Copies of this chain bind each other. A is one copy, B any other.
Amino acid sequence: MSREIAFTIAARDGAARTGSLTLPRGTIRTPAFMPVGTAGTVKAMYMDQVRALGADVILGNTYHLMLRPGAERIARLGGLHAFSGWNGPILTDSGGFQVMSLATLRTVDDSGVTFRSHIDGTEHRMSPEDSLAIQAALDSDIRMQLDECVALPADRGTIETAMRRSLAWAERSKAAFGAPAGRALFGIVQGGDQPDLRVASAEALAGIGFDGYAVGGLAVGEPQAVMLDMLAVTVPALPDDAPHYLMGVGEPDDILKAVARGIDMFDCVLPTRAGRHGVAYTRFGKLNLKNARHADDPRPLDATADWAPARDYSRAYLHHLVKAGEPLAGMFLSWNNLAYYQHLMAGIRDAIAGGCLADLSAACEQGWADGDLPVWTG
C-alpha cells in the first residue's frame, strides 16, 4: 500500500497475524474489533469511553447515515469525524448489507440497488459509484465496495450471480474511489458456501488490487463450521500483505477461530445490542442479567475484570437496572461488553506475538464451558 497507508505484520502464529494498519487519522492494532457506530454514535456509549476501552477504529453505517441525517449534511458539518466526535479512523460499509436487511421493496440489478427507506418509505437508488460518493462525503478512512450479499442457505446459481455482480461492482468501485491520499478501499469476497466461488472471488479481487480485503456473506445463517471452512479456503487466496476483514462477525468464539485462520479485522453489533438487552459478555460466557438468579447476588460480574461495570457493582444492582428498564442498564452492559471484546482482542494480539494463540483460545473456551459462578446462596 502507499498513499499514507501502511499495513505491517509484526508477528505470526500459524495463519494468525498481529500488526498494525496505519492511516493518517490513527493506527489500528490488529487483530482489531471495530465497535459499530451505526448512526454516528456507538449506542449508549460516549466516544471517549469507546476509545479508552481500546478501540482504534469504529464502523459507520452508510445506509443509516445517508437516510438520517444525510451524507451531504454531514459533509457540510465537516465530515463524520467532526460530526460524531470520533477522531480516529472510521470504516464505513457500502450500505448494501443494510439495504438487504432493513430496506423495503428493494430490487437489485447490475447497475445497483433500488430501495425504500425503512424510516420514511422514500425511494433511493444506489450504484457502486453512489456508495463511494456517499462514503467520500462522510470522509471515512476505510471505504467498502458495494457488494451483493446472499443469505444462506441459497442455491449455487444465486450465489454465483451475486458473486460475479459483486466482482463487477468491485472494479467500478475502485475506479470511482479514485485513491485519495490517506483513504483506503477494501474489496469484498463473496461466494456463499461454495469453496471454488470463494477462491475465484478472492483471486479476482486480488487481481484488481485493494488496500484490504473483506470476507462478506458469512454469518448470514450458516453453521459456524461452514463459515470456518470458507475462511480456510478464502484467506489463503487473498494477498498476504493486506488486511483481512471478516464482516459482521461475531461472537468471541467466532473471533478466536477466525483470527486463527488469518483474519485481522472484525465488526459486530453483538456487544452493544446484547448490552441493551440485558446480556453481559464475561469470561464465564454470556450472562442474562434478567435472570432471577442474580436478584440477590452481591458479587460483581467478574471480580478480576478491570472495568467498572464488571468490577464495582453487584449483579443484584445490574439485575435491578435491567428489570427496571433503566438507561444505565444499557450503558453499563454495553460498556462491559465492549470492554470484554477489546480485552479479548488485546489478549489475542499478545498471544500471537508470544506464539501461544492456541493456549489463549483453549483458556477462553474452557472458561465459557465452565460457565457462570455457582448460584449465590448468601
Residues of A whose CB lies within 8 Å of any CB of B are 39-41, 43-46, 68-69, 73, 76-78, 82-85, 276, 295-296, 298, 312-314, 316-317, 319-321, 323-324, 326-328, 330-331
Contacts and interface: CB of A to CB of B under 8 A. Distances in A.
Q: How many copies does the complex hold?
A: 2
Given A41-B321, A43-B327, A77-B296, 9 more contacts: A40-B320, A44-B331, A69-B295, A69-B320, A76-B298, A78-B298, A83-B316, A83-B320, A327-B327
19 contacts: A39-B320, A39-B324, A40-B317, A41-B321, A41-B326, A43-B326, A45-B328, A73-B295, A73-B296, A76-B298, A77-B296, A77-B314, A77-B316, A82-B314, A83-B314, A85-B312, A276-B327, A327-B327, A327-B330
Contacts of A331: 44, 46, 327, 331
A98 to B, nearest CB: 14
A316 B328 CA distance: 25
B316 A85 contact: no
Nearest to A69: B320
Contacts of A326: 39, 41, 43
Given A314-B83, A327-B44, A77 B295 contact: no
A61 B321 CA distance: 15
A73 B312 CA distance: 18
B68 A323 contact: yes
Given A78-B298, A296-B76, A69 B327 contact: no
B69 A316 contact: yes
Contacts of A320: 39-40, 68-69, 83
B84 A317 contact: yes
A44 B296 contact: no
Given A326-B39, A327-B331, A331-B331, A316 B73 contact: yes
A76 B76 CA distance: 55
Given A316-B73, A317-B84, A328 B78 contact: no
A89 B319 CA distance: 24
Contact of A77 (B68, B73, B78, B298): B298
A40 B30 CA distance: 40
Nearest to A41: B328
Contacts of A317: 40, 77, 83-85
Nearest to A326: B41
A269 to B, nearest CB: 14
Nearest to A330: B327
Contact of A44 (B43, B276, B328): B328
A333 to B, nearest CB: 12
A39 B328 CA distance: 11
Counting chain B CB atoms within 10 Å of each CB, which of A40, A41, A295, A298 scores highest? Answer: A41
A375 to B, nearest CB: 16
A313 B319 CA distance: 33
Contacts of A276: 327
Nearest to A309: B46
The 7 closest A-B pairs by CB, nearest first: A44-B327, A69-B320, A41-B328, A39-B324, A41-B326, A77-B316, A77-B298
A85 B44 contact: no
A276 to B, nearest CB: 8
A116 to B, nearest CB: 18
Contacts of A68: 320, 323-324
Nearest to A332: B46
A260 to B, nearest CB: 35
